Chain A
Amino acid sequence: MSLLTRARDLPGAAEPGRSATRTPRMRPWTPYAFLAPYLTLFAVFMLLPIAFGGWTSLHEWDINLPAKPFVGLQNYADLFDPASVDGARFWTAMRATGIFTVASVPLLIVLPLLVALLMNGRFRGRNLYRAVYFAPYVLGVAVVGLVWRFLLDGNIGLVNHYLGLDVQWTTDVPAAWVALVGVTVWWTLGLNSVIFLAGLQDIPRELHEAAMVDGASAWHRFRAVTLPGLRPVTVFVVNATILASANMFGQSYLITGGAPADQTKTAIYLIAETGLRQFDMGTASAMSFVLAGCLMVVSALVFGAFRERSKP
C-alpha cells in the first residue's frame, strides 16, 4: 500500500482527480485499526501494569492485609531516608547493581567484539568455534548458577583446587565481584558476539578494499572503517548490555546468595525479596520506579555519548 501511495505522490504519476475515484483514499482510522492489536497488548501488559505499579507505590500495599492505606510519597521518602531500614538496604543494593554494571559492561562489549573480529575471518572449523562461544548462552541461569556455585566454592570448589588458590569467590569482595562478572561474561559473551558478527558482515567489503588501496594499515582500517560501520550496532549492544547488567539477579541469588552479608545483593534481587518474600509491594514498587528512573538517565547518557562522537 505504501508503494502505491508513494507512486501517487510522485509528480505526474497520476492525475489527481482520477486517483481519488480509482483507489479510495485511506480512511483516517485505518492505521489505528492496524495498530489496535498491538496497542491493546501494549496497554494491557505495559501501560496498565506500570500505572498500577505507580498506584501501588503510593500505598502501604501488603498483598494479604485487607487494609492498603494511601501513604502518598512516603515509600519514596523512606528510600531516600538513610535512617530507614529500607532506604539503607536499597542504596546498598543500588551500589551493588552499579558495581556489577560498571565492571561487566566494558568486558561484555570489548571481548565479544574481539571474538566477533576473530570469527569473521576465514579459517577451518569457524562454525565450530562460533558454536563454542555461543553455547553457554543457551543454558538457563539456574544451571549456570548452581554449577558455578560449586565450582567456585572457596573451600571445596574445583577452581581453587586446580589453580592452587585460596580465594573465597562467593563470600568475599572483591573476589565475589570477579566471580559474578566472570561467570556473566562467560555465559552471555556469545550473544553480543553474534550481534557484532552480523554487524561486521554488513560492512561493505568495498570500503575495506578502498582503504587498503589507500595504504591503510589493519589498525587504521579497524578505526576508520570497522568501528564507524559498527556504530549503530554498538549503540544497541551497549544499551542492551547496560540494561541486562543492571537487571542482574539470578547470578548473585544463586552463586553468592547476596554474600558477603548483603554486599552482592542487587537492586532487582532486593525488589523481588521485598515484594515477593516480605509482601511489601508498596516499597518494592517504589524501588522499581527509582531504579527505572536511574536506568532511563543512563540510557539517555549513552545515546548522548554516541551522538556526540558521531559529530566530525
Chain B
Amino acid sequence: MSTSLSRRSFLGLSGAVGLTAALTACGGGTKIGAGSSAPASAAPTFSGGEYTGPKVTLDYWNGFTGGDGPHMRAMLEAFNKEFAGRIEVRNVTRRWEDLYPAMPTAIAAGKGPDVAVIHNDWVGTFAARRTLLPLDDVVSALSLSESDFIPAVWNAGVYQGKRYSVPLDVHSLGDYWNRSHLEKIGLSEAPADRAGYEDALAQLKKAGIAHPFWMPNKWPAHLMFMSLLWQHGGELYSDDGTRALWGSEPGVRALSWMVGQIDKGFSPAQVAQDSQYAAFKNDKVSFTWDGIWQINDLKTNARSLQWGLGPIPNIGGSAAVWSSSHNFVMTSQAGKDPHKVQAAKFFVDHMGRLSTEWARAGMIPARNSARQDPSVADLPQIRLAADLDAFHFLPPLPGVGDVQSKALELAVAKAVLKQASPSEALKEGVATADKLLAENKRKYGQ
C-alpha cells in the first residue's frame, strides 16, 4: 500500500511540475516572426484598394465582451457579407485579461490570430516580443497622420521606428452618477471641481445615502490613482523608462485623497472586487468612476437606473484622466502567408475607416475628424472628449504591464485596504517597480 501511495503522491507532485513544463513545451518552437528573414517581406506593399488574391480566412481576436461586443460582431458580419468568397473573418472574443497571456503563445503555435485588437500600452510589449508585423504601408494607404490623432495614441503605435498599429478609438474613465440620489441634494449632474465634489458627498451622506462613493481596492482603483496622479502634476515613469515616478509627492496626495474617502465615511472599508459597480447598478452608490465601456451594460442591464455620465472631477488642480485606445494589429502568424498579409492589411484598412460606426459601441473615435462628425456628436461619451489634453495614456514601454500589476496596482490596493499608509505603500511599490524596469530594459534590449 505504502509503495503504491508514494508513487501516487509522486505523480501528484510531478503533476504540478509537469503542468508548467508541458506548457513551456508549447513555447518550444517560438522563432516565428523573430528571424531576420521576416516572411512578410514576401507580400507586396499595401497601397489600398480591394484584396484581389485567392480566398483566405483570417482569425481575428479581440476582447469586446461587454456592451461593445454586439457592435463589433455586426461590423464583422457586414464585412463577411460584403467580401464573401474572398475574405472570411473568423471572430474570437475573449476577456482582455485572458486574451493577452494567450495571444503570444497561440501565435507561436500557429493557432492564434492573424489580426487582433489590442490596447495601445501593449503595442510596445508585443512589438518587442516580435508578435506583431509593421503596418506602415497601411497607415500611408489610409492617409493617416499624427495631426488627426491625439499624439499619445498615435505615438504609442510606433516601436523602434516602425508603426505596428492603427488606432480605432479612445476610451477613458468617466464619472457615473445616480440621478435620483443627486436630485435629493438639488443637483442635476456631478460637480466638476474638488470642493463641489466633496461638498456633494457630504450632503448625500446627510440625505441618507450611507456610502455615496465606494473606493475599490482593485480594478479600476489603479486607473483612478493614475488619473489623480496626473491631476496633481505627477508622472508615471521617466522618459527613458528606467525609473518609476508615481511615488512622488503628487502620487502621495492622489492616493491619500482616495484613502480619505474611506476615512470620511463616504466609502465603506475594504470594498471587494467589482462591488462598487454592482452596488451602483443596485441604486446604492451615488458616484462611481468606471470606463465608458460600461455605457451599454448600464443601458441593457440596469434599465430602471437613472444615471448620468461626465468627465471625472478635477481633484488635483489640472484636468487629467486615464485613457486607453483600441488598436488594430497584424500578427506574425499572418506573416507566414503573403496572401494573408494582404488580406489582413485590407481588413485593418477597411475597419479603420468605420470609426464613427464603432462610436456607437460606446467608444470615442480616435480620429479628430471622426469625433467631430455630426452623426456621433450626441453620444454620451463624446462630451468626455471636449478637452483632449486631459487624456493621459500609459507610456508604450515594453513590459510596462508587468510593472503595473506587480508594483503600482499592489501599492494602491495596500493603501486602500489600510495595510500601509499611502506614502509607505508607494515607496515600497516604487522600489519594486525600479527593479522591474531595470530587468525590462535588459530583457527587451532597448
| Interface residues of A, Cβ cutoff 8 Å to B | 45-46, 49-54, 56, 60-66, 84-85, 89, 149, 153-156, 168, 170-172, 232, 235-236, 239-240, 243, 247, 257, 259-262, 268, 271, 275-279, 281, 284-285, 288-289, 291-292, 295-296, 299, 303
In the bound complex, what is the Cα–Cα distance between A126 and B402 (angstroms)?
53
Min Cβ gap B215→A in Å is 11
**Contact present for B5 and A236 (CB under 8 Å):** yes
Known: A260-B413, A261-B413, A292-B13. A153 touches B436 (CB 8 A): no
Q: Mark B425-445, 1 if CB is under 8 A from A, else 0.
A: 000000010011001000100
**Contact present for B13 and A49 (CB under 8 Å):** no
**Contact present for A171 and B417 (CB under 8 Å):** yes
Q: Mark B204-240, 1 if CB is under 8 A from A, else 0.
A: 0000000000100110000000000000000000000
**Contact present for A292 and B16 (CB under 8 Å):** yes
**Contact present for A85 and B435 (CB under 8 Å):** yes
**Contact present for A64 and B129 (CB under 8 Å):** yes
**Contact present for A168 and B272 (CB under 8 Å):** yes
Candidates A50, A259, A281; contact of B273 at CB < 8 Å: A259
Min Cβ gap A302→B in Å is 9
Residues of B within 8 A of A62 (CB): 129, 443
**Contact present for A260 and B419 (CB under 8 Å):** yes
In the bound complex, what is the Cα–Cα distance between A18 and B409 (angstroms)?
81
In the bound complex, what is the Cα–Cα distance between A154 and B273 (angstroms)?
10
**Contact present for B21 and A285 (CB under 8 Å):** yes
In the bound complex, what is the Cα–Cα distance between A281 and B21 (angstroms)?
8
Min Cβ gap B110→A in Å is 14
Q: Is B271 interfacial (CB-CB < 8 Å)?
A: yes
Q: Is B243 interfacial (CB-CB < 8 Å)?
A: no
Name the segment of B23-31, B39-47, B191-199, B385-393 touching the other chain. Answer: B23-31
Q: Is B379 interfacial (CB-CB < 8 Å)?
A: no
Q: 13 A–B contact pairs at CB < 8 A?
A: A53-B18, A64-B27, A149-B272, A156-B279, A156-B284, A170-B272, A171-B272, A277-B101, A284-B20, A292-B16, A296-B10, A299-B9, A303-B6
In the bound complex, what is the Cα–Cα distance between A275 and B268 (angstroms)?
35
Candidates B25, B273, B414; contact of A170 at CB < 8 Å: B273
**Contact present for B272 and A243 (CB under 8 Å):** no
Residues of A within 8 A of B108 (CB): 63-64
**Contact present for A155 and B268 (CB under 8 Å):** yes
Chain B interface residue number, banded: 35 or more
Q: Is the interface of A mostly helix, strand, loop or mixed?
A: helix
Candidates A53, A156, A289; contact of B24 at CB < 8 Å: A53
**What are the nearest 3 A-B pairs in CB distance?**
A53-B21, A63-B27, A49-B21
In the bound complex, what is the Cα–Cα distance between A232 and B284 (angstroms)?
55
Residues of B within 8 A of A285 (CB): 17, 20-21, 24
Residues of A within 8 A of B443 (CB): 60, 62, 65
Known: A85-B406, A155-B214, A260-B417. 20 other contacts (CB 8 A): A49-B22, A63-B105, A65-B443, A66-B35, A85-B435, A154-B270, A154-B275, A155-B268, A168-B270, A235-B1, A239-B5, A239-B8, A240-B9, A243-B12, A271-B20, A275-B24, A277-B101, A281-B23, A303-B2, A303-B5
Q: Is the interface of B mostly helix, strand, loop or mixed?
A: helix
Residues of B within 8 A of A259 (CB): 217-218, 272-273, 413, 417
**Contact present for A262 and B273 (CB under 8 Å):** no
- B residues 232-291 near A (Cβ < 8 Å) are 268-273, 275, 278-279, 282, 284
In the bound complex, what is the Cα–Cα distance between A247 and B6 (angstroms)?
17
In the bound complex, what is the Cα–Cα distance between A172 and B414 (angstroms)?
11
Min Cβ gap B407→A in Å is 8
Q: Is B131 interfacial (CB-CB < 8 Å)?
A: yes
In the bound complex, what is the Cα–Cα distance between A155 and B435 (angstroms)?
37
Known: A66-B34, A171-B217, A171-B270. A155 touches B131 (CB 8 A): no
Residues of A within 8 A of B318 (CB): none
Q: Which chain B residue shows the least CB distance to A51? A: B21
**Contact present for B11 and A46 (CB under 8 Å):** yes
Candidates B6, B130, B218, B282; contact of A156 at CB < 8 Å: B282
Residues of B within 8 A of A289 (CB): 17
